[in-house]
């Protein structure tokens, strides 16, 4: 098995993020790799649709500010440098791929809830990352 030189760990800042980051950190440490941390905030308009006549910008800014603080604390706890922290706005799978491409990552680590049936058909971030990645993807089973 080849060693990985750049590892991206994508987290959602839930309690399960600790397990996902621990797996990524173990791989990065054993291979002497750079470890990058990614969190993607989905725009509220994705959840509520663009036809709702409401201005979500203030709420979106608040969400971004809170997530940035949480990500910085998480990164500090996990020893990840500020220049290896990426907080983005968009579709998670698209933004995770973009970061991986930008830094020439050779491994993406994501959490997976192991959905099946209708939940799997509806899609998941882990599934989206797996099917569009140009590098290896490790899905860490969480929440089972």
State pLDDT tens for residues 3-32: 899 999 999 999 999 999 999 999 999 999
Q: Which domain holds residue 95?
A: 6-141
How many domains, in total, are found in the chain?
1
What confidence score (pLDDT) does residue 124 get?
78
- Domain of 125, CATH number, reads 3.40.50.620
- Please check whether residue 37 is in contact with residue 9, taking contact to mean a CB–CB distance below 8 angstroms: yes
With respect to residue 1, please indicate whether it lies within any of the assigned structural domains: no
Q: Model pTM?
A: 0.85
- Please check whether residue 67 is in contact with residue 106, taking contact to mean a CB–CB distance below 8 angstroms: no
State pLDDT tens for residues 74-95: 999 999 999 999 999 999 999 9
């Amino acid at each position: 098995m080849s060693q990985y030189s750049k590892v991206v760990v994508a987290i959602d800042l839930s309690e399960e993020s600790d397990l996902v980051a621990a797996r990524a950190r173990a791989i990065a440490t054993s291979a002497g790799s750079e470890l990058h941390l990614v969190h993607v905030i989905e725009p509220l308009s994705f959840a509520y649709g663009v036809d709702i006549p409401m201005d979500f910008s203030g709420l979106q800014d608040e969400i971004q500010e809170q997530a940035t603080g949480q990500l910085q604390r998480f990164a500090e706890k996990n020893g990840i440098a500020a220049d290896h922290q990426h907080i983005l706005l968009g579709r998670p799978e698209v933004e995770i791929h973009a970061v991986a491409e930008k830094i020439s990552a050779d491994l993406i680590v994501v959490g997976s809830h192991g959905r099946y049936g209708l939940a799997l058909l509806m899609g998941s971030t882990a599934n989206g990352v797996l099917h569009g990645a140009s590098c290896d993807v490790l899905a860490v089973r969480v929440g089972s």
